[in-house]
Amino acid sequence: MQSLPFNLEDRAGRRRTEHVEVSRLTIAGWAGRDQAAIEHHIAELAELGVKRPSTTPCFYRLGAELLTQAEQIDVVGVKSSGEAECVLLQTPAGLLVTIGSDHTDREVEAYGVTVSKQVCPKPLARDAWLFDDVAGHWDQLEMRAYALAGGARRVYQQGSVASLLPAADLLARAPLEQGAAMFCGTLAVQGGIVGMADGDALELELHDPVLNRTLRHAYRVRALPIIE
C-alpha cells in the first residue's frame, strides 16, 4: 500500500490536497491506437532484444510500492530509461489523472518485460486533475518528455494522446477498483531508446490546451554500480 499526496486542481482552478492510498498498479503496454505506431515501438524495443508481445494491448500487474513522487530514483547500472505516460488513479475523490514515467530496465526487458518493469521505481507528478474535467477533450491532451544528459536537453517524446487508446477504452478492458492506478501507454521516442547514466534526468509534461494548464514532473537517476 502506498500513500501519496496529490495537489488536485479542478477546472475552475481551485486546488486542494488529496492523500491517495494506492494498493494496485497496472501498466498498459502496446496501447497505441495506430497499428503502425505500435509496430514502430515494437521495432524500437526489438533492437534491444525485447520479444514481440503476444497480444496488444496487454496489462502488466506490478507492486504499488514502486510508485514515487521523489525527484531522484535509484537504479542499477546505466541500461534503464523512462517513458512519459498518463496515469489514472481511482480514489474516493473520483478518478484522477496525472503524468508519470514507466521507468524500465532495458537490459532486463530482453529477458522479461514484466520483470524489467518491476525492478525500477515509477515516478509520478505531485499535481493531478479530475478525469471528468478532461474526459470530454481527452484526445486534445498533449504529452511531452525532455531528456537531460551531459548538460544537453532534447525532446525525447512529444505528441497527442489521440495516438493512444482512449482512457475509456482501457478502463473498459481493465477496470480500476478503489485504490488502483494505471499507466496508459506511451509515445514513440525521438532518436531511439538509450539508457540513462548517473545524473541524467527526464522532464515530463501533460498539457491541456482547452483549460490551458500543464502537469509537470522531473526526476534524476542515480545509477548504482553492478558488482559481479
Q: Give me the pLDDT at residue 111, please.
A: 85
Q: Give me the pLDDT at residue 30, please.
A: 83
Q: Give me the pLDDT at residue 43, please.
A: 79
CA distance 193 to 191: 7
Tell the CATH topology of 2-224. Fumarylacetoacetate hydrolase; domain 2 (3.90.850)
Task: Give the residues of the chain that fall short of pLDDT 70.
Answer: none
Q: Give me the pLDDT at residue 35, please.
A: 77
3-state SS record for the chain: CEEEEEEEECCCCCEEEEEEEECEEEEEECCECCHHHHHHHHHHHHCCCCCCCCCCCEEEEECHHHEECCCEEEEECCCEECCEEEEEEEECCEEEEEEEECCEEHHHHCCCHHHHHHCCCEEECCEEEEHHHHHHHHHHCEEEEEEEECCEEEEEEEEEHHHECCHHHHHHHCCCCCCEEEECCCCCCCCCCCCCCCCCEEEEEEEECCCCEEEEEEEEEEEECCCC
Q: Give me the pLDDT at residue 140, please.
A: 98
Q: Give me the pLDDT at residue 194, please.
A: 85
Q: Give me the pLDDT at residue 33, please.
A: 86
The domain locations on the chain are 2-224
Q: Give me the pLDDT at residue 23, please.
A: 97
Q: Give me the pLDDT at residue 112, please.
A: 86
Phi and psi dihedrals of 65, rounded to 5? -70, -10
Phi and psi dihedrals of 56, rounded to 5? -135, 135
Q: Give me the pLDDT at residue 154, please.
A: 96
Q: Give me the pLDDT at residue 14, please.
A: 93
- What's the pTM value of the predicted model, to 2 decimals? 0.94
Q: Give me the pLDDT at residue 47, please.
A: 79
